[in-house]
Amino acid sequence: TQLLEQSPQFLSIQEGENLTVYCNSSSVFSSLQWYRQEPGEGPVLLVTVVTGGEVKKLKRLTFQFGDARKDSSLHITAAQPGDTGLYLCAGGASGGGADGLTFGKGTHLIIQP
C-alpha cells in the first residue's frame, strides 16, 4: 500500500512570509499532483510533476519533485491571505493503466493579514 505523508498538518503564518510544505513517501510515484481544496468543494489541480528533480513555478508557488520521485515540496513566497486553504498532494502509481491517485491528508494553511 502506497502512503503519502504531508507535513506540517497545520500551518499559520503572517502575510508576506515564505513557507514550504512537504509530501513524502517510501514508494516511487510516476507522477505527483498538487491540489487545493476549499471546504465542501472538490480538489482543484494546481500542478503535475512527472520527472525526478523537476521544478515547476506557478506565480509565487514553486513545486519540486524529488530526484527519486518519492517526495515533493510546495514553496510559497510572500504568502497572501488568498493562499489560505487545504493543500493536497496526490501520487500516481508507477505503471500503466487508469491508476487511481493516492492522496495525502493535506496541509491546512492559514495566512493572517
Which residue number, 48 or 62, has a Cβ lying nearer to other proteins?
Answer: 48
Binding of other proteins by 27 (CB under 8 A)? no
Q: Using alpha carbons, select from 5, 52, 10, 51 the residue that is nearest to residue 24.
A: 5
Options 21, 23, 43, 107; binder of other proteins; rule CB under 8 A: 43
H/E run at residue 112 = strand 107-112
Alpha-carbon distance values, 54 to 71, 84, 97 (Å): 11, 25, 23
Binding of other proteins by 35 (CB under 8 A)? yes
Binding of other proteins by 33 (CB under 8 A)? yes
Binding site for other proteins (CB under 8 A): 30-31, 33, 35, 40-45, 48, 50, 88, 90, 92-106
